[in-house]
Amino acid sequence: MGGRVLDEEKDSQTLNSGWGQQLLDLLEHVFILKDAKGRLQVVNQQARQLFFSPHDLEEQQADLSTADLLTHLGLAPASAQAVADWWAQDWGTEVVGKGEKLVTTVQGESRVFQWTEYSVQPPASPRLFRFVIGKDVTHVRQAEDHMQEIDKMSLVAEMAAGIAHEIRNPMTTLKGFVQLLQQRVTGQQDYLDLMLSELQRIEFIVTEFLNLARPHSPHSELQNLNQLVEQVSALMQSQAIVYNAAIRVTPCSQPVQVLCDENQLKQVFINILKNAIEAMSKGGTIRMSIHTKPEDAEVTVRICDEGVGMKADQLQRVGQAFYTTKEQGNGLGMLVTSKIIQSHGGRLDIRSTPGKGTCVDVVLQKKP
């Protein structure tokens, strides 16, 4: 439905000054209606501000009133004029609410919906109506969250350099004296063992900070992925036994080569296996498997545990600085892991079910 594009002060009987124009002006998107000859019929406020000067509108406007246009659309002249007169009256419109809401679509996807709700009272009517105008801003919010994560990582990396220098040197001195006391003092071994254990934990955290702060690119070489996964599995078997866990590896049926920094990629698998082991307080089996096809450009290393799993809100925060679900965690392991995988041109896909476990897919580019 349309009418002439005229200044509201010029012609209060056009769609531009009526309820239809008021409604279109509320839209946050550009709305332009033209007739078959390309002449402007309706332009909402967003379009006027972005694309048209008053002079442009005067030159391009069509000589069709609302009633004329309705007649062209098939209404009888008398009915068209009646509708146009009613449509052009001033409708009472008021904003009654606005905000954002996380909704689930019929396809099961979570989306962020930005909405504004209006109350409307038609001319000469006691009835009130309400309508909602909204748009999907999921991608905008995701981009904002991504920028916040970049800022956070930059801050963490800046902090890491200072922390390494301020903490590591005195910590090494303390660790050396505790080890010396272990050899000379009797009857206090439990306390000394606890002190050494906590110092080692601090050392591990500082090392994680250093790994995060180092800006160097990976030193990449061709590696046999089957062999690399087997080596990491053997390395972590002793820690798995402590938690009554077992690691089962299913290699790819064919040789798979990837261009990677061997030590960094091993660190990725160690971090993921360590999380999997600690998630299974009652023991269980961790399954590592390698999946690809000859025609595929990618290879996937899948690591699945039988641990406590994670809820959807926890899963969304995996990889954020300082976020952890473990009592003794620091939230840096998966952040470092994500950074390494990104530097290798790969990605992490994580799926989790509370009470059943978590699967982590490390997807890498393979070399023929």
Last residue of a domain, one of 213, 234, 257: 213
Q: Do both 274 and 151 map to the same domain?
A: no
The verdict on residue 34 lying in a domain is yes
Last residue of a domain, one of 179, 213, 247: 213
pLDDT at 231 over 70: yes
Span between the terminal Cα atoms of the chain, in Å: 60
Q: Are strands 257-260 and 357-367 parallel, antiparallel or unpaired?
A: antiparallel
pLDDT tens readout for residues 175-212: 888 888 888 888 888 888 888 888 887 777 677 666 65
Q: Do both 251 and 341 map to the same domain?
A: yes
Q: Do both 292 and 225 map to the same domain?
A: yes
At position 128, the amino acid (one-letter code) is: L
Q: Which CATH number do you get for residue 190? A: 1.10.287
pLDDT at 304 over 90: yes
Query: For residue 223, how many other CB atoms are within 10 A of its CB?
Result: 18
Q: Do both 38 and 149 map to the same domain?
A: no
Q: Do both 320 and 274 map to the same domain?
A: yes
The verdict on residue 56 lying in a domain is yes
Q: Do both 180 and 203 map to the same domain?
A: yes
Q: What is the spatial distance between Cα 83 and Cα 77, in angstroms, rounded to a whole number?
A: 10
What domain range is 234 assigned to? 221-367
Q: Which helix (H) or strand (E) holds 141?
A: helix 138-184
Sheet holding 129-136, edge to edge: 92-104, 110-121, 129-136
Q: Do both 329 and 291 map to the same domain?
A: yes
Task: Identify the pLDDT of residue 335.
Answer: 78
Share of the chain above pLDDT 70, in %: 62
Tokens of 154: 């930059």
The verdict on residue 1 lying in a domain is no
The verdict on residue 60 lying in a domain is yes
The verdict on residue 8 lying in a domain is no
Give the residue-averaged pLDDT of 290-316: 86
Tokens of 361: 């897919």
Give the model's confidence band at 138: pLDDT under 50 very low, under 70 low, under 90 confident, else very high: confident
What is residue 36's DSSP assignment? T
Give the model's confidence band at 299: pLDDT under 50 very low, under 70 low, under 90 confident, else very high: very high
The verdict on residue 334 lying in a domain is yes
Q: Which CATH number do you get for residue 320? A: 3.30.565.10
Total tally of structural domains belonging to the chain:
4
pLDDT tens readout for residues 28-72: 666 766 655 556 667 777 677 766 666 666 655 555 566 666 676
